[in-house]
Amino acid sequence: MSPPALPESLFYNSVLPLSPVPLALLLGWLQEKEMRLARLLGEGQLAFYATLMSASTLGDVVRRGSPADLGLVLAGSLTIMILSTIVYSVAVLNHAPTRRNGRGPRRERRTSIASSVLAVCTTVMAVYFRVKAGLL
């Protein structure tokens, strides 16, 4: 069985899992409600996508055999998982019922930007590692 092509892999691994975000933005726009990206992603939802992508990439590369770049794949996946944990922890603690002192929206905005950048970086690195390992 031949490995999937890059567009097919991106569609099933990235576009479909992330489709609720633009769809929610579209629905909010249709209902004329304010749907900021920070409100959609401020609770660290994308951290799970990043963790899942890096874990599945690591699993695929390990199953493929023992490529020379396995250490790099492991280091990259662990880095993404640690950052995902930090992003998700900050998001959850930010929404805990504590006295916010006006800092909550700033944390939410930064968390949403960080999780968005993390999702993009994870997708790029997953594609890179899969191409290097001959999986795409």
Under rule CB under 8 A, residue 64 binds other proteins:
no
Under rule CB under 8 A, residue 66 binds other proteins:
no
Structure token digits, residue 96? 């805990």
- What's the CA gap between 63 and 65, in Å, rounded? 5
Under rule CB under 8 A, residue 136 binds other proteins:
no
Provide the phi-psi class of 62: left if phi over 0, else alpha when psi is between -120 and 50, else beta.
Answer: alpha
Among 19, 59, 103, 134, binds other proteins (CB under 8 A): 103
Least spacing, CB of residue 13 vs other proteins, in Å: 18
Which CB, 13 or 91, lies closer to other proteins? 91
Residue 76: which of 30, 34, 118 has the closest Cα?
118
Among 111, 126, 133, 136, binds other proteins (CB under 8 A): 111
- What's the CA gap between 71 and 66, in Å, rounded? 10
Q: Are the C-beta atoms of residues 116 and 45 closer than 8 Å to each other?
A: no
Under rule CB under 8 A, residue 38 binds other proteins:
no
- What's the CA gap between 32 and 25, in Å, rounded? 10
Under rule CB under 8 A, residue 101 binds other proteins:
yes
> HSE on the CB side for 51, CA within 13 Å?
13
Which CB, 28 or 104, lies closer to other proteins? 104
Q: By the criterion CB under 8 A, which residues form the site for other proteins?
A: 69, 72-73, 75-76, 79, 83, 86-87, 89-90, 93-94, 99, 101-103, 106-107, 110-111, 113-115, 117-118, 120-121, 124-125, 128-129
